Amino acid sequence: MKPEVHERLRELSDETDKEYGKLVQKLLAIAFLEAGAEAVTDRCTQGIDLELTWRGRRRALEVKTCAGGTLRLGAKDLAGLAAREEGGATAYVAVLGGRLLDEWIIARFHRGELAPGELYSITRLRPYREAELEAAVAAKFDDALHEHRAAAAGRNGQRALDDVLARYPGYRRA
């Protein structure tokens, strides 16, 4: 990820505080749609954050942002990922760290590999990375951030991004 992208993310985080994670989730949804996802469902309140159909296969993503290089997954996050796997989707943890060299890590979920509530270095997810998904959204996420950062940082940030997402035929909000 380019340094200017990290700077824009840092600014967005500073401007939006607690909204930041949800805004990044919506920007990632835009990136997937721009990259060719057939369908994307954004869960704004409960459940797994994003569900999508990518190249004919169902995927479920728990999206996390972290200021440094660590993340924590709750029992609800892990149970949701396991439930989506049982329902036939391939489950992932999508993490965007806040350090200058961080970029999206989209890692395949493996039940039992992570314990709820524990603090993990995001590098621990690297062996499970899904390079195809990461590559597909890398540039598209940068573009979405560039194009929609001002709207996201505005007073109605989530609603503004929902309006952008509503223009895509494959988008659904749950």
CB 84 within 8 A of CB 91: yes
Q: Tell me the two tokens of residue 80.
A: 């949701």
Query: pLDDT value at position 17?
Result: 77
CB atoms under 10 Å from CB of 103, counted, come to: 16
Query: pLDDT value at position 28?
Result: 97
Distance of CA 151 to the CA centre of its chain: 18
Give the global pTM.
0.95
Percent above pLDDT 70 for the chain: 99
Residue 172: strand, helix, or coil: strand
Condensed to tens digits (0 to 9), the pLDDT of residues 108-167 reads 999 998 899 999 999 889 999 999 999 999 989 999 999 999 999 988 999 999 999 999
Provide the angle, in degrees to the nearest 10, between the axes of the packed helices 157-166 and 131-153.
Answer: 120
User: Cα torsion at 33, 62, 99, 23 (round to 10°)?
Assistant: 60
Structural domains of the chain sorted by starting position, each given as residue range(s) with its CATH number in brackets = 3-173 (3.40.1350.10)
Query: pLDDT value at position 116?
Result: 94
Q: Tell me the two tokens of residue 127.
A: 């062996």
